[in-house]
Each structure stands twice: as C-alpha cells, then as structure tokens.
Amino acid sequence: MVRIKDLLQWIDSWAPFRYAQSWDNCGIQVGNPQSPVTRVLVALDPASSVLTEAQGLECHCLVTHHPLLLRPINSVRTDSWPGTIIMHALISGIGIIAAHTNLDAARVGTNAQIEELLGLESAEPLDAEADLCGDEQYIGIGLVGLLRREATLESLAGKLSEVLGGAVVRITGDPQKQMTRVAVCTGSGGSMIGKVLASGAEVFVTGDMKYHEARLAEENGLAVIDIGHFASEKLVLEPFGNFLRSKAESEGEGLEVFISKSEKDPFKVIA
Amino acid sequence: MVRIKDLLQWIDSWAPFRYAQSWDNCGIQVGNPQSPVTRVLVALDPASSVLTEAQGLECHCLVTHHPLLLRPINSVRTDSWPGTIIMHALISGIGIIAAHTNLDAARVGTNAQIEELLGLESAEPLDAEADLCGDEQYIGIGLVGLLRREATLESLAGKLSEVLGGAVVRITGDPQKQMTRVAVCTGSGGSMIGKVLASGAEVFVTGDMKYHEARLAEENGLAVIDIGHFASEKLVLEPFGNFLRSKAESEGEGLEVFISKSEKDPFKVIA
Amino acid sequence: MVRIKDLLQWIDSWAPFRYAQSWDNCGIQVGNPQSPVTRVLVALDPASSVLTEAQGLECHCLVTHHPLLLRPINSVRTDSWPGTIIMHALISGIGIIAAHTNLDAARVGTNAQIEELLGLESAEPLDAEADLCGDEQYIGIGLVGLLRREATLESLAGKLSEVLGGAVVRITGDPQKQMTRVAVCTGSGGSMIGKVLASGAEVFVTGDMKYHEARLAEENGLAVIDIGHFASEKLVLEPFGNFLRSKAESEGEGLEVFISKSEKDPFKVIA
Amino acid sequence: MVRIKDLLQWIDSWAPFRYAQSWDNCGIQVGNPQSPVTRVLVALDPASSVLTEAQGLECHCLVTHHPLLLRPINSVRTDSWPGTIIMHALISGIGIIAAHTNLDAARVGTNAQIEELLGLESAEPLDAEADLCGDEQYIGIGLVGLLRREATLESLAGKLSEVLGGAVVRITGDPQKQMTRVAVCTGSGGSMIGKVLASGAEVFVTGDMKYHEARLAEENGLAVIDIGHFASEKLVLEPFGNFLRSKAESEGEGLEVFISKSEKDPFKVIA
Amino acid sequence: MVRIKDLLQWIDSWAPFRYAQSWDNCGIQVGNPQSPVTRVLVALDPASSVLTEAQGLECHCLVTHHPLLLRPINSVRTDSWPGTIIMHALISGIGIIAAHTNLDAARVGTNAQIEELLGLESAEPLDAEADLCGDEQYIGIGLVGLLRREATLESLAGKLSEVLGGAVVRITGDPQKQMTRVAVCTGSGGSMIGKVLASGAEVFVTGDMKYHEARLAEENGLAVIDIGHFASEKLVLEPFGNFLRSKAESEGEGLEVFISKSEKDPFKVIA
Amino acid sequence: MVRIKDLLQWIDSWAPFRYAQSWDNCGIQVGNPQSPVTRVLVALDPASSVLTEAQGLECHCLVTHHPLLLRPINSVRTDSWPGTIIMHALISGIGIIAAHTNLDAARVGTNAQIEELLGLESAEPLDAEADLCGDEQYIGIGLVGLLRREATLESLAGKLSEVLGGAVVRITGDPQKQMTRVAVCTGSGGSMIGKVLASGAEVFVTGDMKYHEARLAEENGLAVIDIGHFASEKLVLEPFGNFLRSKAESEGEGLEVFISKSEKDPFKVIA
C-alpha cells in the first residue's frame, strides 16, 4: 500500500527536496504522512477547481507545483483561500504535497522541459548552489544554451506560442533581431536578469515579466520572450505523472495517477 | 441568529482585542465569521479532550484562553498538534476563537480574578500601555495591591492552595516572612520580576516560575508563590461564560454556553 | 530664470514629495539644484531613448515618473543602465528629477486619471497614511469607487483598451460577470490585493499583475483588468506638463515643456 | 602554584568550552586569570549564600555551573544581584568561573549523570553539532536511550524522586503507561520537545517544564517527568570536584576543592 | 546626608538625563544609590589616575563625563580596563556616575562652554530632538552661531589654542579664509558634517576629526578647527563642580566637590 | 592596447581584490571596463585637486586607494562631493578604480611599507582571514614584529616623523618607555586595539587614533604612535606606480604612470 510518505520519498528520489530554495515550503502542506493513497492528482496549483477535480476523481492526494502554504498562516479562515482549500482537503481526506523549486532545479524539471522544447545545446545553469553542483540530478536555477539554428526574436516567439498550444506570448526588443544564445527561467524569472546578462544570452525566455524588468532588459540590449508563468510550467506535469506511475509499478504498488484537466491560465487577453 | 463574528464583537466589548500584546494572536483561529452558533464551549486550552467535549455537547464554537495558533504554521500536519485540532474542528464544523492577553489585561480578566480572591486593596498595574490607561476596561499587565491583613508567606500560600481546590503551590523564600504588598501575574509571570521588584511588592503570585527566575527573586528578597499556570487562569472561565450568556440574553438571541469540565492541570506531583 | 530647485518646489506644490512611500527615492536623481532650465521634457522612464529625445529638444531637465536610482548604486558603470543615463545626462547638462509615488498619491496623479477615465463616483482610498488624510491634495494609495452604470468584466476591459489607444488588456475572472464597484491602483498593484478584497471591490484595474496574484484574486472571486503598467500611468504626463507650463507662466518665467513622444510600452503581444 | 587560568585550562580539558552554546557565556565571570588559587568551591549558582560559604572556606575561586553574567550588564549596581555578587567577590578576592552548556554537552556532564542514574543503554544525542560529533568527550545536547526494563511512568518518577533524595517530581501523562525509551535533558528542557518527539522517546526526563510545553507533550502522547532544574544538575558537582582534585594532584599542585553544602532548591511545595 | 541618588537627582535638574542619546549609558556605572557621599570628584574620564586621585581625596563618588560602561560587559576582568576601575571603585567604596550626552545637550553643557568662549551670537542647534525643543534647559546636539567679528581660519584657530591653554589645534582648509558663521560640536563631531554643511557654517569647531571627515569637509569648502576631544570638553568641569557645590549648599547639605587635577590629554605632539 | 579591465586584472594579480574587507567597495567606481587607457594617475584620494591633476596630465584613468563610493548613493548631486567627481570624471572620460583594503592586506601593500620602514623582524598578522592564510601574497590585516634594536617611544616617534618627511606625529604613553615589539595598522587603526593588546605589542603605529581609543591604550599600558592616516598610506603609491609600469612593459603595452604630486595631508597643526 502506498502512503503519503512514500510519495514524498519517491518525489525526493526524482527531484530532491534539498534542491529547493531556502525561502520555499515544499513537502506536505496538508495531511498525514501515514495516510494510504490509491489515486493521486498532479497539478500546478492548489486551486478550488483542482480540489474539486480531485474529489471527483476520488483521489487521496493532490501533488501540486505551487505550495498551498508558501507563506505561514496564523489562522485557518474558511471564508477565503487558502483556508477554503485546507477545509475541503481535510473533509475529503485529501493530502496535499508541493514540489516547487526542487522541481525547477531538477534535471527532469520545468526548466528542462523548455530546454528540450527549444532543442538547446551546451546548456549550463544560470545560477547554481556550489554544494549541489556535483549532483547528477541537479541542473541549477535557470539555464542558458544555444539554439541549433539562429532565429529572429519574432519567429522564436511565434514558434513557442505555437508549440505551447497558442499561448499568448509577449516580447520585449527588436522583433527582427537574430539570436542564438537563449536563457530560460520558468515561472517568474524577473529577478534573474542580472544573471542572464552575465551569461551572455541574447534572449530570455521566462514568465511573469514586470514592466521595470522589461525596461532593464531593453536598456541592456536583452530581448525577452514572456511565455506566461502558466505555460512555462504546465509541461512538467506529464513527465511528473509518468514518473509516479512507473515508480509505483516498479515497486509493485497499485497507484492511479491523473494530470489535472481543469487548470487554465488565469489571464485572458482582450486585444 | 448568533454568528462567530457576533461572538467576536461581544468579546471585544468585554475584553477588547486591542489590549492584546503585540506578539499575541487572538481572535479566530479556525472557522468562518459567518457561521451560525447556538452552543459554545469555553475553556483554557484548545486541547484534544476539550474538542471532544465540544463535539459531545454539539457546540459550534470553542472559545479558549490560549490561542491554537500562537505561532504561525506552514503545514497542517494531521498526525500532530495543532493539525489534529484543526482537522477535527473543520470536520465537526466547530469554529475556534482565542481571547488571550486581551483577557489578562481586562478589568474582568484573569488577574482581576486573583485580585478578588486575595481581596487586594489599592491595586495598580505592574505594567501598562500608556495609550490604554484612560480606558475603563483596562487594568494593565499584572497588578500589585495590599492584603487587608499581614500574612506569612506560608499561610498565604496555604490559603491560596485551599481556595484553589487543593492546587499544588510552590513557594520561594522564607516561609515565616510577613507580607502585605502582593504582586499578581496570572499565567506565566517570570519575565515580570523586574517590574515586580520595582513595584515594591513583598511577594509575587504567579504561575510557571522557572529556576533562574526563582533564584533572581530569592537574591533580591522577593518571595514567590507559584500557584500553577492552570489554576491561576481557570477561575476566569465562569465569569467569561456568564458574560456570554447574559450578552446573548440581552440581545434576545438563543445561545447555550458551557464551561469545560474535561480540563485538568497537566502536572501531577509525585512526592 | 527657472532653476532645477524651482521645478522641485513647483512639483512639491502640486504632488507633495511627503506623499511618497518610505522605500521610494523621489527628487533629484542627477544634477545641480542651482542649474537654470528653459526647456524640460516630461516622461515615464529615464530610458536611453527618452534621454536622446531630451538632447534633441535641447532640454536642460528631464522629469520622469520612475526614479533613475530607486535602488542605491556603488559604482557608475557606463557600460550598463543606469550608468549610461547618468553619463549622458551629465555630459549633456541635463538634470533628472523623479516624481513617483508622491504623484501616485496626489489628487492630480496617476490614479486620479484612471478614476476620471472610468467616471467613478464616491471614490475612497484603498489605503492611506493617517497623518496625511486631512490634506486636500492627498487621495491615498489606490482608490475604489462606483461605475455610473453596471458593466460586464469583458465590456469594461474592452472599453478600457479602446480609450487607452488599443492597449493590450488582460483579464482574470468570468468575462460575463456584472460589476459596479471598481478598485484602481496604477503601475504595479499586485501587493494591494488584500486591501482590494477588504474594500468590497468587484474588479481591480491595475498593471503588472503576476500569476500568483491573479490566482489569489480568482480564488477570492475578484475580477482583475490588467491594463498594463505603461498604459496605466501614461495619461498623467499631459496634465503634469500642463501644470508646469501654467505654473511657469503664472510666475512670469519662460519655460518650454515637452511630453515624451519616444516612449513605447516595452511589451508587444504575439498571439 | 595553581592560577585561575590553569583552572580554565583544566576544565577545558574535561568539558571543553567550545561545546558551549552560542548564546552562553562560560569562562571567567569575575577576576584575574593570573590570580593564584589554593582553595576552590564548586556549586550550581553564584548565589549570595554560596559566596558567603566560599568566604567562610577561604576559597580564592568559585566555579559554578550557571554563569553570573549570562546577560551582559551596563552597570554594577551593588544594591541588587548580580552587582552584589561582583562586589563581594572583588572585595574578598574570589574569582568566579562558569562551566555551563559546555558541561551539559560533555561526556562527564550533567546529562551523563542522569543517564547513569537511569542505567540507560544505547544512548544517543537528542541534538548535536555536526562538527563536534567526532569528538570523544562530546555527547551532544540531551540524550535518548533505553531502560534495561520496562517501567510505568509513575514507578519511574517515584524511583527518580527517591534516588534524588526525595526531590519533588512532577509528571505529565498517564501514570500507568509502560515505557522503555527515555529522553533526558537536564536543566530546562522545554525547548527540546520537538527533538524528543522526533527521537521516538516515550518519556522525557527534564526540569523547569512550563505549562504549554506540558500540554504539547500531552497532545503528542509524550510523558514527562520534571525532576526539577536543581536536582537534575546537582549530581554533577561531585564528579566535577573529584576531577579538579585529581587533576591538581597529577600536576603536583596543592589545591583543596569543596562542594557547596549551602545550596538548596529555591522551590518548596505546599500541598 | 547626601546620597548617590541625590546627586543623580541634582544632575538631572541641571542636565536632564532624558537629553541623552539613545545609544548612551548615563547614570550610575558602579555603586549603590543609597550610599552616602560627603566628598565627590568631577572629571572627564573614569581613568586609573583619576580613581587614584579620588582615593587620595577620600571621595565617595566620582562623577565623569565619559561613561565607564558605554558598552555592556559580560565579565569583570580585573587585569584590564574597565574591570580594573570597577574593582578599585568597589574596594574603595567609590560610586561612579556618568553625565555624558545629557551634559552635551544642556544649556550649561560642553557645547555651551565653547559657544561662550567664542562669543557666538544668534546660536541655534545643529540638530535637535523635536519633543525636547520647547525645553528651557535644552540647547540641542551641537550648535551654530555668528562671530561678533569676521576672522581668518588661522587667527581663530590660534586664538582658540591660546585660550585653551596652548592646546594643539589642527586645521583643515585655507588658513587665510575669512569666516563668521561657526558650528560647534564638542567631543567627537565627525558624524555631524552633513548637518554642519546644511547649517551654512563656514567653519566647524570640534574634536577627534578623522581623515575622511576632513577630506569631506575640504571637498565641500568647509573649514575645520579640531581643538581636541579633551580640550573641547575640559571646560565644563568647573561649572559642573560649582553647580554641585551650590546645590548642596542650597539644600543645607555638606558636600566637598573637587575638580580632577590629574587628567591630561592622552595625545602629545612630536613635531 | 590597455583597457580599464586590464588594469583591474593587473591590480588583482598584485593585490587580489578578494583580500578586501566585506564592507569595502573596491574596483571600478566610475567608467567602462572596455575604455582604453594610455596614461594613468595613482593617488590616495579621489579628490577634486587630484582629478584636476589627472585632467592636466591627460590621464584616462585614476587609481586611488580610497574608494569614491565607499557608501552607496541614491543621487548624483553635482553641487557636492562625490557627485562633483563623478561629473568631472565622466565629462573628461576618466575612469576611477579603487584598491583599498585589498592593498592594505597584500604583501606589497600599505602595512608592508611601514614594516619595511621600521625594519621589523619576525612580523606576523594582527588579524587574518583563515581561508586566505595559505596565500603567498596575503599578509593579513595589520601586523606585529620586532625592532632590531630597543628604542624609546619618543625616539621611535621622532625617527618616524623624520623619515616620513616631517609628518606631525602624536604619541600616547610614557615618552621614555623602552620598546621592541611593534604593531602596525595603516590608515585608521583604532578598532584594532583589542587585537594589538592580544598580540603583546608594546607600541602601536597607526593613524586617525581617536580620544577614547587613546585612553583605552593608555589604561592597558600600550603606547601609541599616530603618524597620521595620510602619511601612513602615502608610501605605497610609489611601488604601486612602479608595479603598473613594469607590468605594462612586460605585457608589451604602452602605459604612462604618474604618482599624484597635488595631494597634501588635510590637517595642519597650529601649535
């Protein structure tokens, strides 16, 4: 029988929790490590719609990328998020686990998905923690590599929008600029611009770029492709689910793994 | 119909939440301010036995002196306290409210109960916040006053043990010392010794005294009577319950109020 | 003859610098308060293109909304921003002044422009500093008010895009939701979501919304219209320029005031 | 001739000062490292009665477990402790040395005395500093081990009271609970409860337990035996004195070592 | 009979302790407020030679400008200062009181002595605490005023050296510069240069000027006369002693007051 | 062609920047690492007179010991230092580099110059960073060594004044005291007195000694020779210039190196 604590151990073998940033809060968000699990839902966010999906699927565990309790709480108010999620999770007997920056920094993680999508060569970390660098599963915080063929900012952005299922993509910089060296930081990469400039990248693929960050890039001649926080991370769910399935199988344990179908990007563009 | 938010407002009219210390966490611990309440349990601690008692009495709200979430949490682990309490409260639909240092500092609060028990005269605050001092309901943090008749340390301690139902009482100092000026700080008063010395008190009645605090008192000629954290605060529950009952009545609302019968001092003395 | 220090004093009479947030850095960024000024350029950002525009117009002063030196610097590196701007400003003899959060909080400022655009009634501050509240020119940090006529999220967003010259607008929430109560915070308003929820607003018009902020709004039933940081602030430049012109005139001073024509939103959307 | 600095070196060879906690203040409290010493008194506390005892015995040095100046001082007020002690020590020419948490963490220290008293087997540290773990004299901060024979909480508490000379012992938990795995932390162990729970101990033997700590233990099914801060540490004085005597002897130095007979537990129980 | 606590009260009536800076440590440094005093020595520093002088004069109290324990201590080491002073003070029964920045900021204090020496007119504070400004005895932190007649830097410095008994004086700036507006900060004034520049002073009279402070003054066209920390403060001792004498007289108390004759500037110049 | 970045690399090979203190700000203060340099001026301070000298000599780079921007700035005000220097440097195309505490700590640095001047033997660091100690070019922070022949304080001070070109030298202590063991800390050494005392030095040669530091030395029997901040560091300029010249030569690059002739000690003594 698989328990919550087994899932934690499996995740730790795939995207070790020690890779997480010091400010992060990965692992159990709600629940009991001893609780048995036969059905699990994998998603980006511990959102109401996702919890409802988990209830509909009769899951006992929800594994999300974003932590429910990134910031500590001093009350469980059930008239607002995240208290609503805590309440429904406890009542439905659904444990919630987060795999956040440990997943970003792992060889199988969110950044690696975009690296593969772009077919980057000779990729290196944008930033890395010295004591983890020898570690096989560790690829660091963000990465920078080379396109196989030079492309314009516009064409690269267009291609990314297409392969990401028509995601709305925002660019900063001259659309006709040719580029080869690409930096990637999934999620919200604005604080990495200094590292990106130091890396010699010509374009930075990320999400959640803010205005002043875009200006800073512009002033320093760095092009930016903001593919959206959601689209930049969504891709990891499939391999994550596959890993859990095959792990359970190899352990001889019965576990049904679902990928969330209810999640949508919270932003819609009005032209 | 009484709601959780009404209870908060009533408590605020009796022991205003603005009297609470800055490090405290009073108010809603678990629940929804809009939830209706017809039966409420009043207790010192949000302990498992107390929650069970509340479930048995079919209460919708538990009002405790000690906050469930004095320290913020970054996970709701249901295999340990306080996660166990959160889970059971949410499943049973019981909201939890805390009235802690606001109650200590109020004219109707824990310190005032001991003041009355000792029959102190000319009582003044041990410490007080300047901007609250004009406030009628505010008596400050701890108090100091005069016994009507001089007593020895031993006799005063013995009398306190007796009126507190045989509570185990620990004394520091010469048992035969005569004393008139008494300082009081319910709960855990060790950090107040400097204020007590400055007040000219001859004896300090409090709970949870630690060894180095007792030595400090001893070296400075201050006697101490430690009546126990539990016994020092238990007395307030009865008037607290009475207040809620009469308040409901005066508002024309139906509300049954219970005082916990399951709570016991966690310490037993082995001679 | 107008000097830099006169401009500072004029701005202070219109959007007092004491309204600025404690973390902000308004006032002189580069230059000498004694320098004479006959031509001034007003813009949102101290960007390279804007400085070039100022040089082309033979201005002696550039007044921007965003401070060049929001964060202190410990070197003036002329191969990167902001060192490049400092160098060119000094060589061209152009002083740089910032009017940032003082302008946001003033009755004539960025938020008031959007309030007027939306035709809000009964507007109140989202947040305010107590000691400034009696001040006539102070409207606080963000605001909340009522539309004259109920509108759907989609129609309101569409109208905003239109009156803002076709700006790309992103929405979060149900496009068909009807709403009347609108909160506004120009620039980057994500950190204000708690205040917006407390204000009872049904929709929040702001810029630079991030993913987790959008999710938080979504979970709490708050609609969001992100009109873009740039578009949310651009409107203030015209009245700001008019004020400087009329102020100079009323002082009998010759001063030519230009509004930047070179500034563009750094983001382009690729569908 | 033995000097204060020799005593420091000897103590350091027995309970190395580098084992002390970062917040502690071991070593010389009052005096001159060059002062000669022929008679030394060993005690738990730098109390008035102990200093008087040292004067009566014509000692030149007082070695205590608890530091006189744990918190730094900005005046030497001779009308209150610790100024009174400083004054009398200087006038009598008595140096004062503290061996506090270095002694707690040493193989010969306070925790080891209780370990031996209980006859614990397979003892391990409750907590330990990684860089000291290879050190032969280091046993860490608190310990956990196995009783040779299962015992009830009540019988274990009774036995401890007896072998500690009738010390008043307080228990938390079911008196009839059978237990084998025992955690120990002498002095004041309340802050260690998290580590104790993680160690799998069934009962925690310590001193100075506070109410909320007892409740936390109770809620998590951990029994507690509070043997008193004083009694938990008193035992170490005898071996400490013996060490100093034999060390002096082996160095061919004349040194008389006394163990305090005046110290008493500051608490007396009134039933 | 005069007691230490009476001296404190008298000093407080002349140079109120509430004028002291927040980082300062005025008041009792060593001793008992109840101790009687018939002879008192007034000096700048609690130095060994001064304490010997106090012993020779059979004083029971030493009042100094500089606090013995400006920084808190966590041991009283009698082989180094300040432990040596503490030891000898306690053995000789001499209490030590400090009147430091309260004296600097008082109308009768160190800065006022230099103001008078220079015959400054229209003096105002360099800096001041808002809530003390209405106070008659308060003159603020440093001051700035006008010479009755313009003087060159060199002549002013020469005159100061002369009236200060041939003190070594260091100047920064053009010796022939004419000046009228003079800032004064006794003791160590380097951190006040920003305030001095803002005050419009042409020359700054102070002590303990450091190299980078002198350079900063030089670059900003501010002349400096460094009269030495010692010489800048020595003048206050006479009026301080006179005050104590007359206060005792007016209270009908016998008190002999001495001004230190043993103190010398620790610096000697080798040309 | 030599560039600013080459100069940085050369300095780093001679006085590695990693030797700098954590609070320091070495390296480029103003300028572009890519700018070519054919003439460089070496000086102690980035002062106005020095910049004028650099302009007169048509230098493209000014290398100073003291950083222009030791403290970060949030505006470039051109009516006061350091803004004046930044403006003139940028307009004249002069880059500014600082080599500060890295130079102090290097074998070729400021302290080593004084060591050589005094002919000290068996010199050791006063303080050192553990991880740099194996490094050949590192001599640590300050040093202590032996004079070849015992000397009196007065004669040593006189000799230093003489060899430093008649610098004004201040001494603290008995002029006739004989001494052999000398500590050295160039610049401003007052914060090192504790280390100096621990080193067993009999005299401390340094600059910028303040009054309370001198008193502390006096009380602990330590003699001090304050040779002035300026004189203590001036000597390093010559070898620094020589290094740059020979380095350029060995690289086959044309570079003219000048040592500042305009710098003077900001202090003049008026007897």
Q: What is the pLDDT of residues B146-188, one digit of tens each?
A: 999 999 999 999 999 999 999 999 999 999 999 999 999 999 9
3-state secondary structure D90-128: HHHCCEEEECCHHHHCECCCHHHHHHHHHCCEEEEEEEC
Q: What distance in Å separates the CA atoms of residue F39 and residue F34, rounded to the nearest whole number?
A: 15
Q: What is the mean pLDDT of residues A157-174?
A: 95
Span B201-254, pLDDT tens digits:
999 999 999 999 999 999 999 999 999 999 999 999 999 999 999 999 999 999
Of A1, A43, A32, A11, give the one whose Cα is nearest residue A264. A43
Q: Best of E75, E81, E88, E97 to disrupt the D interface by mutation (most D CBs within 10 Å)?
A: E75
Interface residues on A facing C, Cβ-Cβ cutoff 8 A: 45, 47-48, 66, 80-81, 84, 154, 157-158, 161, 166, 168-172, 175, 187-188, 197, 207-212, 214-220, 226, 228-230, 266-271
SS3 content of chain C, % helix, strand, coil (to 5): 35, 25, 40
Decide if pLDDT at E27 tops 90: yes
- Range F17-24 contact pairs with CB under 8 angstroms and sequence separation of 24 or more: F17/F99, F17/F102, F18/F102, F18/F132, F19/F101, F19/F102, F19/F105, F19/F106, F19/F132, F19/F137, F19/F138, F20/F100, F20/F101, F20/F102, F20/F105, F21/F101, F21/F141, F24/F67, F24/F70, F24/F100, F24/F101, F24/F102
- When CB atoms are compared, the residue of E32, E78, E79 closest to D78 is E32
Instruction: Assign residue E80 a region (left: φ > 0; alpha: ψ between -120 and 50; beta: otherwise).
Output: beta
Q: Is B120 exposed, middle or buried (0-12, 13-18, 19+ CB in 10 A)?
A: buried
Q: What is the mean pLDDT of chain D?
A: 97
Radius of gyration of chain E (CA): 19
Decide if pLDDT at A184 tops 90: yes
E79–D86 C-beta distance less than 8 A? no
Q: What distance in Å separates the CA atoms of residue D187 and residue D235, rounded to the nearest whole number?
A: 12
Q: Which residue of B has its CA nearest to A81?
A: B32
Span C36-76, pLDDT tens digits:
999 999 999 999 999 999 999 999 999 999 999 999 999 99
Whether F contacts E, i.e. 3 or more CB pairs less than 8 A apart, is: yes
Chain F partners of E169 at a C-beta cutoff of 8 Å?
269-270
Provide the shortest C-alpha distance from residue E156 to chain F (in Å): 11
DSSP secondary structure string for all residues of chain D = --BHHHHHHHHHHHS-GGGS-TT---EEEEE-TT-B-SEEEEES---HHHHHHHHHTT-SEEEESS-TTSS-BS-EETTSTTHHHHHHHHHHT-EEEE--HHHHTBTTSHHHHHHHHHT-EEEEEEE--GGGTT-TTB--EEEEEEEEEEEEHHHHHHHHHHHTTS--EEEES-TT-EEEEEEEE-S--GGGHHHHHHTT-SEEEES---HHHHHHHHHTT-EEEE--HHHHHHTTHHHHHHHHHHHHHHTT---EEEE-SS---S-EEE-
Provide the shortest C-alpha distance from residue F246 to chain E (in Å): 31
Of C86, C85, C37, give the one whose Cα is nearest residue C61. C37
Measured between its terminal Cα atoms, the distance across chain F in Å is: 52
CB A216 within 8 A of CB C81: yes
Q: Best of B3, B28, B66, B76 to disrupt the A interface by mutation (most A CBs within 10 Å)?
A: B76
DSSP state of F93: T
CA B55 to the chain's CA centroid: 23
CA atoms within 13 A on the CB side of A114: 35
Provide the shortest C-alpha distance from residue B244 to chain A (in Å): 23
Span A101-136, pLDDT tens digits:
999 999 999 999 999 999 999 999 999 999 999 999
Q: Which residue of D has its CA nearest to B48?
A: D219
What angle separates helix C153-163 from helix C110-118, to the nearest 10 degrees? 120
Decide if pLDDT at E270 tops 90: no
Chain B partners of A32 at a C-beta cutoff of 8 Å?
77-79
Residue C25 phi, psi (nearest 5): -140, 80
- When CB atoms are compared, the residue of B30, B77, B87 closest to A28 is B77
Q: Is A137 exposed, middle or buried (0-12, 13-18, 19+ CB in 10 A)?
A: middle
pLDDT of the residue at B217 = 98
Structure token digits, residue A187:
């999620």
Decide if pLDDT at A271 tops 90: no
Provide the shortest C-alpha distance from residue D186 to chain B (in Å): 12
pLDDT of the residue at E265 = 97
Span D70-128, pLDDT tens digits:
999 999 999 999 999 999 999 999 999 999 999 999 999 999 999 999 999 999 999 99
Tokens 């003077």 correspond to: F264
Structure token digits, residue D3:
């000097």
Tokens 């690289």 correspond to: F251
Interface residues on D facing B, Cβ-Cβ cutoff 8 A: 45, 47-48, 66, 80-81, 84, 154, 157-158, 161, 166, 168-172, 175, 187-188, 197, 207-212, 214-220, 226, 228-230, 266-271
Tokens 């409802």 correspond to: A52
Q: What is the mean pLDDT of chain A?
A: 97
Interface residues on B facing A, Cβ-Cβ cutoff 8 A: 25, 27-34, 69, 71-79, 86-87, 90-91
Instruction: List the chains bordering chain D where 3 or more Cβ pairs fall under 8 Å.
Output: B, E
pLDDT of the residue at B270 = 87
- When CB atoms are compared, the residue of C72, C74, C90 closest to F90 is C90
CA A155 to the chain's CA centroid: 25
F169–E80 C-beta distance less than 8 A? no
CA C130 to the chain's CA centroid: 22
- Residue F242's contacts (CB-CB under 8 Å, 6 or more residues apart) are none
A230–C168 C-beta distance less than 8 A? no
Span C212-256, pLDDT tens digits:
999 999 999 999 999 999 999 999 999 999 999 999 999 999 999
A77–B72 C-beta distance less than 8 A? no
Q: Best of C32, C70, C76, C100 to disrupt the F interface by mutation (most F CBs within 10 Å)?
A: C76
pLDDT tens for the 271 residues of chain F, in order: 999 999 999 999 999 999 999 999 999 999 999 999 999 999 999 999 999 999 999 999 999 999 999 999 999 999 999 999 999 999 999 999 999 999 999 999 999 999 999 999 999 999 999 999 999 999 999 999 999 999 999 999 999 999 999 999 999 999 999 999 999 999 999 999 999 999 999 999 999 999 999 999 999 999 999 999 999 999 999 999 999 999 999 999 999 999 999 999 999 998 6
Decide if pLDDT at E133 tops 80: yes
**3-class SS of residue B117:** helix
Q: Best of F60, F74, F85, F94 to disrupt the C interface by mutation (most C CBs within 10 Å)?
A: F74
Provide the shortest C-alpha distance from residue D253 to chain B (in Å): 35
CA atoms within 13 A on the CB side of B186: 27
E226–F47 C-beta distance less than 8 A? no
pLDDT-derived band at A270, boundaries 50, 70, 90: confident
CB pairs under 8 A between A and C: 115
pLDDT of the residue at C270 = 87
Q: Which residue of A has its CA nearest to C85?
A: A219
Helix residue ranges, H only, chain F: 4-14, 48-56, 83-92, 101-104, 110-118, 153-163, 193-198, 211-219, 229-234, 237-250
B74–A76 C-beta distance less than 8 A? no
CB E189 within 8 A of CB E174: no
Q: Best of D79, D80, D270 to disrupt the B interface by mutation (most B CBs within 10 Å)?
A: D270
C169–A267 C-beta distance less than 8 A? no
Q: What distance in Å separates the CA atoms of residue C210 and residue C212, rounded to the nearest whole number?
A: 6
Q: What is the mean pLDDT of residues A232-257?
A: 97
pLDDT of the residue at E131 = 94
A25–B75 C-beta distance less than 8 A? yes
Strand partners, F144: F124, F183
pLDDT-derived band at E91, boundaries 50, 70, 90: very high
Strand partners, A96: A30, A62
Q: What distance in Å separates the CA atoms of residue B78 and residue B62, rounded to the nearest whole number?
A: 19
E207–F208 C-beta distance less than 8 A? no
CB C29 within 8 A of CB F76: yes
- Residue C188's contacts (CB-CB under 8 Å, 6 or more residues apart) are A210, A211, C206, C207, C208, C229
CB D142 within 8 A of CB D185: yes
Instruction: List the chains bordering chain E where 3 or more Cβ pairs fall under 8 Å.
Output: D, F
Q: Dihedral of the CA atoms D17, D21, D25, D28 (nearest 10)?
A: -10
Interface residues on F facing C, Cβ-Cβ cutoff 8 A: 25, 27-34, 69, 71-79, 86-87, 90-91
pTM of the model: 0.94
pLDDT-derived band at D199, boundaries 50, 70, 90: very high
Q: What is the mean pLDDT of residues D207-226?
A: 98
Provide the shortest C-alpha distance from residue A77 to chain B (in Å): 5
- When CB atoms are compared, the residue of E32, E74, E90 closest to D90 is E90
Provide the shortest C-alpha distance from residue B11 to chain D (in Å): 24
Kindly give the pairing relationship between strand E178-185 and strand C121-127. Answer: unpaired
